[in-house]
Structure 1
């Protein structure tokens, strides 16, 4: 190396060292956002938050049909497939970040004819080398931000999985509610027909009036008119479940008429608050990773404000009609940003604003998660209490109907008493079915809001 070359290399090394020292002072460490959960929950007054281990919460229904539907849905849901593909897309985006070092080979052959008509063959091959020195961590920041967006996409898969569990479980609870309603209407129809026959017999003995007969017939007709809408709701729930499972309606392959009963749960409402809500809730993880990605984007934008140092070189081998030669080149290059630097500084300010926005969004997401959990706990506790009362109401009204039937024939009660008693049983049964539906849906909502089951169906 010549003296001039050594001086050039020495100056480049001095510049590189100075920039490296400056870069070391400009790297701002990342502090993950934190939230004090213990003082935020109403239930925390009784003690510290606890870990609710309820990953496969739907199995608390003890319903093999629901278990099969969940398994089918996790394997075939199309929205879940789309979410998984977004992870693949995010991984590809990270790989597309420009490399810090790369080779650029070139080769070519051509023929040239001189003034005497002779043809000379000229061949050349070169290998170029470029290395961009990542002094300010711009490229590293780009890779980190892209990695955070992979984690965002991965958390969104968990969110899609929770949404699927919510939708399938709710659709199944609704289906069983409609099927129970159909059974109730059919049983009620049979009971009212029986009452109509009794009233018609009493009319023949002048113990009932024509008005009583007409009212009994109207009740039979009223009950019959409610059945078609319930059947349509059952079909709609079946179709919803099929589509959620990735199947064409009518091709689900799971018998939804087998063992028809409304799902019941008995989990105590005093489940506490899981201390790892931050980890369980995919939306909170999405918000935190978006904040981190925005934070790293600022570092990448700031790196563009400073000069860029690169080392490059080429080796060229050429020949002309048998005569060959080799040329070498290697040296540093320092690229300065265009001045004035207004546009790039504005880009940094924009990125910094996005950091503040994403941090605020994270705090909002956490607050909304706490609200969701507390609301779900209250709703679930209320639904269980209402369910117990509704069950007792049905039992008592059924007893009233039995006693009224016995004394009507002995003139101890009127036909109106019997009709009223049957209507009370019908209303009580309808209320119980709706209460069971509410309890089931509130149990589903509670677990989804806790983030339980976010990893369901994943290997390992």
Structure 2
């Protein structure tokens, strides 16, 4: 009779709750601008074809095979990416584990033993006996109110968020490899400029010293020429240090010891080519593409499912349990032999007397959902800011790059003419030294500007989530 009443209660609960309780997730609406308005975002103003910033292999636009090789090494061997992959595998395992809650849990057990009872416990029967119990157990939560479904969906969203965390890590690693490589080539170009100018100034020092030895110059001119030569040479150690640091960083990003790539990268090469223009797309496309935004939204979705999990505790939790087994007993008594064992039960667990605690947990999960919503909205705004800033930096650095290129060319021409005029006696040493100093500053400024332009291009690709390839790192090998 009690079982019939329990079954009746189950039918009533099923009729009262045809779907899961709790809120259903809906993607939050945010007002987004139709287009980016930063300089250089319009095809009409650039007048040249633009590269798609969402290209998953954006580094090819720099036309540098060595950069491509380094990026591919990092994507397969970087330890941060391998760690992110391990976190994804863990989240995937937890999701697969949660899905088993939809089905009955079946276990088997075997209990075998021998026991000797005290004389006062045997009641006249043999004190020594052997026993064996073999059972098959089953339990199943009847998910009428959606607690299990909410939990499975929550774990699924956490898995998707972890996958997007891994994608965001890929974007960050590729961006750092490209930025470090470009900085390396930029510092090598500045080193070339410094050494070339030091060589020119060294020839000037020798000429001034020869003139002084011939009695036509002054010691002041010699000291001034040598001071400028030493000042130019003083730039070289700092540039060599910066180059070494970049080489070490690239090796570690590729999952190797710091000195591994020194010999390979020491050979000087020019800065990679810059794309003429980069098409940023629209803000709506950015929101769909950036993995950090997707991860934030998926965690918001998971938090919404958590509210459903807690809300389900306001309703009965029904569990079906069953047991089938065989018991064996040997003691030379009337109880000897085999006997079947079975059991079927329906357990109803209802926390209606503990609603205060349940409602407190629901309120806590709702507050967590509000926090995740605010975090999602902030992530979107930061992404838009990131792109706008990167667009401004890239456009303005290209303008500065063009102007400094012309300034460097004019300064070199002026220095060459000053050298000729000095040798012919048409101008003084001060004019020559000023021209050489201006040449060094102009060429170094252009090299730095060109480096900044290339770095700004990488930052723009990174902010637009370029460099999100479907290339997985190697799994961590266990010792």
Task: State TM-score, norm by structure 2.
Answer: 0.87
Which of 8, 14, 32 is the aligned partner of 2:8? 14
Query: Matched residues in 2 for 1:42 and 1:352: separation?
Result: 37
List gaps (5 residues or longer) in structure 2: 44-50, 117-121, 331-335, 474-479
Give the match for residue 32 of structure 1: 27
Give the corresponding residue for 1:107: 110
Aligned CA distance change for structure 1 residues 385 and 118 (closer, same or farther; 3 Å): closer
Residues 310 and 358, structure 2, Cα contact 8 Å, conserved in 1: yes
Q: Which residue of 1 aligns with 2:198?
A: 189
Aligned to 1:442: 456
| 8 Å contact from structure 2 (residues 138, 321) kept in 1 | yes
1:401–1:418: 8 Å Cα contact kept in structure 2? yes
* Alignment check: 8 A CA contact 1:145 1:293 kept: yes
Task: Work out which of the residue numbers 352, 358, 373 in structure 2 matches 1:344.
Answer: 358
User: 1:120, CA displacement in angstroms?
Assistant: 4.8
Q: Is the 8 A contact 1:280 1:452 kept in 2?
A: no
Q: Does residue 139 in structure 1 map to residue 148 in structure 2?
A: yes
Provide the rounded CA distance (Å) in 2 between the counterparts of 1:327 and 1:118: 24
Say if 2:214 is the partner of 1:200: no
Structure 1 window deviating more from structure 2 (106-115 vs 193-202): it is 106-115
- Superposition pairs of residues 304-453 of structure 1, within 5 angstroms: 304-321=313-330, 323-337=337-351, 339-453=353-467
**Distance in 2 (alpha carbons) for counterparts of 1:324 and 1:197:** 112
Q: Select the structure with the greater relative contact order (CA < 8 A; seq sep ≥ 6).
A: 2
Q: Deviations over 1:217-248 (max 9, x none)?
A: 11111122222222122111111111111101
Give the distance between the partners of 2:446 and 2:42, measured in 1 at CA.
32
Could you tell which deviates more after superposition, 361-370 or 209-218?
A: 209-218
Cα deviation for residue 134 of structure 1 reads 0.9
Structure 1 position 458, deviation (Å): 4.1
- Aligned pair count? 452
Quickly say closer, same or farther: Cα 1:272–1:254, change in 2 above 3 A.
Answer: farther
| Secondary structure at the counterpart of residue 79 of structure 1 | helix
Residue aligning to 1:76: 77
Distance 2:125 2:22 in 1: 66
Change (3 A) 1:24 1:214: same
In 2, distance between residues paired with 1:21 and 1:305?
16
Measured on the aligned residues, the alpha-carbon RMSD in Å equals 2.6
Other-structure match for 1:66: 67
Residue pair 2:415, 2:436 contacting (<8 A) in 1 also: yes
SS in 1 for 2:234: helix
CA pair 196-348 structure 1, distance change in 2 beyond 3 A? same
Deviation at 1:99, TM superposition (A): 2.6
- The alpha carbon displacement at 1:15 in A equals 1.9
Distance in 2 separating the partners of 1:413 and 1:170: 44
| Inter-partner Cα distance in structure 1 for 2:114 and 2:221 | 113
Given the superposition, is the C-alpha separation of residues 118 and 362 from structure 1 closer, same or farther in structure 2, using an over 3 Å criterion? closer
3-state SS of 1:42 partner: coil
Give distance in 2, aligned partners of 1:211 and 1:118: 118
In 2, are the aligned partners of 1:43 and 1:272 still within 8 Å (CA)?
no
Matched, 1:293 2:278: no
Q: Displacement, 1:166? A: 1.6
SS in structure 1 of the partner of residue 314 of structure 2: coil
**Other structure's SS at 2:274 match:** coil
Distance change >3 Å, CA 438–CA 138, structure 1 → 2: same
- Counting only pairs closer than 5 Å after superposition, residues 233-312 of structure 1 correspond to structure 2 as 233-252=242-261, 255-269=264-278, 271-273=280-282, 275-312=284-321
User: How far apart, CA to CA, are the structure 2 residues paired with 1:279 and 1:390?
Assistant: 38
Change (3 A) 1:180 1:259: closer
Structure 1: distance between partners of 2:185 and 2:80: 25
Contact 1:394 1:425 in 2 (8 A): yes
- Give per-residue Cα distances to partners, 1:405-458, cap 9 Å, x unaligned: 222233332211111111111000110111011111101100000001122534
Return the match for 2:17 from 23, 30, 54. Answer: 23
Residues 56 and 456, structure 1, Cα contact 8 Å, conserved in 2: no
Q: Following the alignment from structure 2 to structure 1, what is the Cα–Cα distance between the partners of residues 269 and 196?
A: 15
Call closer, same or farther: CA 1:329–1:229 in 2, change over 3 Å: same
**How far apart are 1:123 and its partner, in Å?**
3.1
Structure 1 unaligned runs (5+)? Answer: none
